[in-house]
Amino acid sequence: MARGVTAAQGFRAAGVPAGISAKPGKLDLALVVNDGPRFAAAGVLTRNKVKAAPVLWTEQVLTAGRLRAVVLNSGGANACTGPEGFQATHSTAERVAELLGCGAVEVAVCSTGLIGEQLPLPNVLSGVDKAAGELAATADGGSAVATAIMTTDTVSKQDAVTDPAGWTVGGTTKGAGMIAPSMATMLSVITTDAVLEQPALDAALHEAVRLSFDRLDIDGSMSTNDTVLLLSSGASGVEADPAEFTTALTRVCQDLAARMQADAEGVTKRITVRVTGAASEDDAVVVARTIARDSLVKTAIFGSDPNWGRIAAAAGYADAAVEPETLDVTINGVLLCRGAVVAGDRAAADLSGKDVLVEVGLGLGDGTAEIRTTDLSHAYVEENSAYSS
Amino acid sequence: MARGVTAAQGFRAAGVPAGISAKPGKLDLALVVNDGPRFAAAGVLTRNKVKAAPVLWTEQVLTAGRLRAVVLNSGGANACTGPEGFQATHSTAERVAELLGCGAVEVAVCSTGLIGEQLPLPNVLSGVDKAAGELAATADGGSAVATAIMTTDTVSKQDAVTDPAGWTVGGTTKGAGMIAPSMATMLSVITTDAVLEQPALDAALHEAVRLSFDRLDIDGSMSTNDTVLLLSSGASGVEADPAEFTTALTRVCQDLAARMQADAEGVTKRITVRVTGAASEDDAVVVARTIARDSLVKTAIFGSDPNWGRIAAAAGYADAAVEPETLDVTINGVLLCRGAVVAGDRAAADLSGKDVLVEVGLGLGDGTAEIRTTDLSHAYVEENSAYSS
**Quick one: A76 and A210 in the same domain?**
yes
Count of other CB atoms within 10 angstroms of residue B214:
21
Q: What is the pLDDT of residue B220?
A: 63
Evaluate whether residue A297 is within a structural domain: yes
Question: pLDDT averaged over chain B?
Answer: 91
Beta-carbon separation of B77 and A309 below 8 A: yes
Specify whether the CB–CB gap between A319 and A282 falls below 8 A: no
> Which residues on chain B are in Cβ contact (under 8 Å) with A294?
220-221
Evaluate whether residue B340 is within a structural domain: yes
**Min Cα–Cα distance to chain B from A312, Å:** 7
Q: What is the pLDDT of residue B183?
A: 36
Residue B174 annotated in ligand binding: yes
**Quick one: A197 and A282 in the same domain?**
no
By residue range, what is the domain housing residue A157?
11-262
Which of B232, B262, B292 finishes a domain? Answer: B262
Q: What is the pLDDT of residue A250?
A: 97
B354-383 per-position pLDDT tens digit:
999 999 999 999 999 999 888 888 877 776
Rg (CA), chain B: 21
Beta-carbon separation of A305 and B47 below 8 A: no
Q: Is B288 exposed, middle or buried (0-12, 13-18, 19+ CB in 10 A)?
A: buried
**Quick one: A100 and A48 in the same domain?**
yes
Q: How far apart are CA A367 and CA B218, in angstroms?
A: 31
Q: What is the mean pLDDT of residues A341-357?
A: 91
Residue A389 annotated in ligand binding: yes
Evaluate whether residue A136 is within a structural domain: yes
Evaluate whether residue A6 is within a structural domain: no
How far is CA B381 from each of CA A263, A295, A315, B347, rounded to the nearest angstrom? 20, 9, 21, 28
Report the b/e string of B141-161 with b at 16+ CB within 10 A.
bbbbbbbbbbbbbeebbbbbb
Q: How far apart are CA B263 and CA B257, in angstroms?
A: 10
- Per-residue HEC secondary structure of chain A comes to CCCCCCCCCCEEEEEECCCCCCCCCCCCEEEEEECCCCCEEEEEECCCCCCCHHHHHHHHHHCCCECCEEEEECCECCCCCHHHHHHHHHHHHHHHHHHHCCCHHHEEEEEECCCCCCCCHHHHHHHHHHHHHCCECCHHHHHHHHHHCCCCCCCCEEEEEECCCCCEEEEEEECCCCCCCCCCCCEEEEEECCECCHHHHHHHHHHHHHCCHHHECCCCCCCCCCEEEEEECCCCCCECCHHHHHHHHHHHHHHHHHHHHHCCCCCCCEEEEEEEEECCHHHHHHHHHHHHHCHHHHHHHHCCCCCHHHHHHHHHHCCCCCCHHHCEEEECCEEEEECCEECCCHHHCCCCCCEEEEEEECCCCCEEEEEEEECCCHHHHHHHHCCCC
Q: What is the pLDDT of residue A275?
A: 97
The count of domains in chain B is 2
The residue among A70, A59, A276 whose CA lies nearest residue A188 is: A70
Query: Among A176-190, A222-236, A303-317, which range has the highest average pLDDT?
Result: A222-236
A64-115 per-position pLDDT tens digit:
999 999 999 999 999 999 999 999 999 999 999 999 999 999 999 999 988 8
Query: Which residues, listed in sequence order, are joined to residue A132 by a DSSP beta bridge?
Result: none
Q: Does the beta carbon of B77 lie under 8 angstroms from any beta carbon of chain A? A: yes
Evaluate whether residue B3 is within a structural domain: no
**Quick one: B117 and B227 in the same domain?**
yes
pLDDT(B110) > 80: yes
The residue among B156, B153, B73, B150 whose CA lies nearest residue B117 is: B73
**Quick one: A282 and A247 in the same domain?**
no
Q: What is the mean pLDDT of residues A133-138?
A: 96
Beta-carbon separation of A47 and B300 below 8 A: no
Pairing of strands A341-342, A334-338: antiparallel
**CATH, residue A317:** 3.10.20.340
Evaluate whether residue A57 is within a structural domain: yes
> Which residues on chain A are in Cβ contact (under 8 Å) with B293?
220
B185 is catalytic: yes
**Quick one: A75 and A187 in the same domain?**
yes
List, in order, residues 6 or more apart from B88 with CB less than 8 Å away: B53, B78, B81, B118, B119, B121, B124
**Quick one: A28 and A122 in the same domain?**
yes
Q: What is the mean pLDDT of residues B200-210?
A: 96
pLDDT(B184) > 50: no
The residues in B 84-123 lying below 8 A from A, measured between CB atoms, are 85, 114-118
Evaluate whether residue B2 is within a structural domain: no
The residues in B 297-356 lying below 8 A from A, measured between CB atoms, are 299-300, 302-303, 305-310, 312-317, 322-324, 327, 336-337, 339-342, 346-347
A378 or B82, greater pLDDT: B82
Rg (CA), chain A: 21
Residue type, A142: G
* Lowest-pLDDT choice from A44-48, A134-138, A266-270, B182-186: B182-186
pLDDT(A158) > 50: yes
B61's enclosing H/E stretch is helix B53-61
**Quick one: B90 and B235 in the same domain?**
yes
CB pairs under 8 A between A and B: 234
Check A6, A46, A172, A185 and give the catalytic one: A185
Q: Percentage of chain A surpassing pLDDT 70?
A: 94
**CATH, residue B222:** 3.60.70.12
**Quick one: A149 and A291 in the same domain?**
no
Q: What is the mean pLDDT of residues B81-105?
A: 97
Which of B262, B288, B312 finishes a domain? Answer: B262
Of A118, A221, A341, the CB nearest to B294: A221
**Quick one: A110 and A222 in the same domain?**
yes
Residue type, B121: L
B113-133 per-position pLDDT tens digit:
888 899 999 999 999 999 999
Residue B389 annotated in ligand binding: yes
Of B48, B336, B378, the CB nearest to A317: B48
Which of A238, A262, A286 finishes a domain? Answer: A262
Q: How far apart are CA A78 and CA A85, in angstroms?
A: 6
Beta-carbon separation of B317 and A221 below 8 A: yes
**Quick one: B100 and B46 in the same domain?**
yes
pLDDT(B387) > 60: no
Pairing of strands A187-192, A168-174: antiparallel
Residue B49 annotated in ligand binding: no
Beta-carbon separation of A300 and B384 below 8 A: yes
**Min Cα–Cα distance to chain A from B254, Å:** 24
pLDDT category of residue A304 using cuts at 50, 70 and 90: confident
**Quick one: A280 and A235 in the same domain?**
no
Identify the residue among A111, A115, A304, A323 best suited for mutation to test binding to B, counting B beta carbons within 10 A and taking the highest. Answer: A115
